[in-house]
């Protein structure tokens, strides 16, 4: 049974924990650097990316997690978590940082502000159609050839990746934890 952490500083923590528990995963809520010990992977939840970034720094987790990611630790970021894993943040604050683990450029609120939130079916490679919940979602505007695109979405302005992976790092623009479909989480936990 894999042991997966969920960053529990802000955002959709409870929803990710619940979905992972349904998959019979040993789940740990990560609030301190030592909570990262003996994990097989970590989920960075959706929430507010600048707030989560601030709390990662003030909790002491930022540096420890960066070292682990660079050493091959598996991590999946959803929505704000995707922003935190990206190489470049478009439309962010001047002091906003990210781990740079995915060679992508994301635009914060790329599909619109809160009022423009939407749901759309998403065809995931090797899985089929899953429900996609997009809430102030980041839009992946650039991605390198090293990044495997697992799902695309056309929301009126052309195709953009919404689920990507590079080696041990996964990024998801939507909120799979806000649905009853656990297949995106299953993909991640099966890779551990």
Query: Would you call 32 a catalytic residue per the annotation?
Result: no
Query: Distance between CA 108 and CA 121 in Å, rounded?
Result: 21
**Cβ–Cβ under 8 Å, residues 123 and 151:** yes
Return the DSSP state at 190: H
Query: Would you call 175 a catalytic residue per the annotation?
Result: yes
Give the pairing type, strands 128-134 and 118-124: antiparallel
- Helix (H) / strand (E) element for 29: namely strand 26-30
Query: Would you call 172 a catalytic residue per the annotation?
Result: no
SS3 content of the chain, % helix, strand, coil (to 5): 30, 35, 35
Angle at 143 between CA 147 and CA 127, to 5 degrees: 50
Angle between helix 49-59 and 61-70 (nearest 10): 100
Q: Which one of the listed residues 16, 160, 172, 177 is annotated catalytic?
A: 177
Q: Which of helix, strand or coil describes residue 32?
A: coil
Q: Which one of the listed residues 16, 155, 160, 175 is annotated catalytic?
A: 175
Tokens of 47: 């929430």
Q: Which one of the listed residues 79, 155, 160, 172 is annotated catalytic?
A: 79
Catalytically annotated residues: 79, 175, 177
């Amino acid at each position: 049974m894999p042991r997966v952490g969920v960053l529990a500083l802000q955002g959709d923590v409870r929803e990710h924990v619940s979905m992972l528990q349904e998959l019979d995963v040993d789940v740990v809520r990560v609030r301190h650097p030592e909570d990262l010990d003996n994990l097989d992977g970590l989920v960075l939840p959706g929430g507010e990316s600048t707030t989560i970034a601030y709390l990662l720094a003030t909790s002491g987790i930022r540096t420890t997690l960066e070292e682990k990611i660079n050493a091959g630790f598996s991590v999946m970021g959803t929505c704000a978590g995707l922003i935190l894993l990206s190489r470049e943040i478009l439309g962010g604050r001047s002091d906003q940082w990210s781990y740079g683990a995915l060679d992508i450029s994301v635009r914060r609120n790329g599909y619109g502000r809160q009022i423009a939130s939407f749901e759309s079916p998403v065809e995931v490679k090797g899985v089929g159609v899953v429900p996609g919940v997009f809430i102030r979602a980041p839009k992946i505007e650039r991605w390198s050839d090293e990044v495997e695109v697992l799902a695309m979405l056309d929301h009126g302005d052309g195709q953009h990746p919404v689920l990507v992976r590079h080696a041990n790092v996964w990024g998801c623009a939507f909120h799979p934890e806000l649905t009853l479909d656990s297949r995106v989480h299953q993909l991640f936990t099966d890779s551990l």
